[in-house]
């Protein structure tokens, strides 16, 4: 299962919309048997958002040769941050 970019209209930001969107995605993924969400953001400003929602940084993936090509692309740009969350 793959999610590609979460986006909240500027006028609605910081009202909990992003948190609800991500919670709905996690619930759907969990219902399909997914136990781990791994993501990458090219925008370090979003780290606080993901950490607030229970994601932890996973810097080990920056040098992972098995990583998806898109991950490697951002990793080479040096501003990629990888995060993960275990679903229970």
Ligand X SMILES: CC(C)(COP(=O)(O)OP(=O)(O)OC[C@H]1O[C@@H](n2cnc3c(N)ncnc32)[C@H](O)[C@@H]1OP(=O)(O)O)[C@@H](O)C(=O)NCCC(=O)NCCS
Nearer Cβ to ligand X, position 19 or 27? 19
Nearer Cβ to ligand X, position 17 or 30? 17
By Cβ distance, which residue is nearest to ligand X? 18
Tell me, rounded to whole angstroms, the distance of Cα 85 from its chain centroid. Answer: 9
Note the maximum CA span of the chain. Answer: 39
Binding site for ligand X (CB under 6 A): 5-8, 13-19, 41, 43, 45-46, 48-49, 52
Structure tokens at 26: 């996690």
| Residue 70 beta carbon to ligand X: minimum distance, rounded to whole angstroms | 12
d(CA 26, CA 23): 5
| Residue 65 beta carbon to ligand X: minimum distance, rounded to whole angstroms | 23
Q: Quick one: which of 9, 4, 16 has its CA closest to 68? A: 4
Nearer Cβ to ligand X, position 21 or 87? 21
């Amino acid at each position: 299962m793959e999610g590609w970019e979460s986006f909240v209209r500027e006028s609605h930001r910081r009202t909990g919309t992003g948190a609800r969107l991500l919670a709905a995605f996690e619930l759907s993924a969990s219902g399909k048997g997914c136990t781990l969400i791994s993501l990458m953001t090219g925008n370090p400003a979003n780290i606080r958002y993901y950490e607030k929602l229970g994601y932890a940084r996973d810097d080990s993936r920056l040098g992972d040769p098995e990583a998806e090509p898109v991950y490697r692309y951002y990793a080479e740009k040096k501003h990629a941050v990888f995060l993960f969350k275990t679903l229970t």
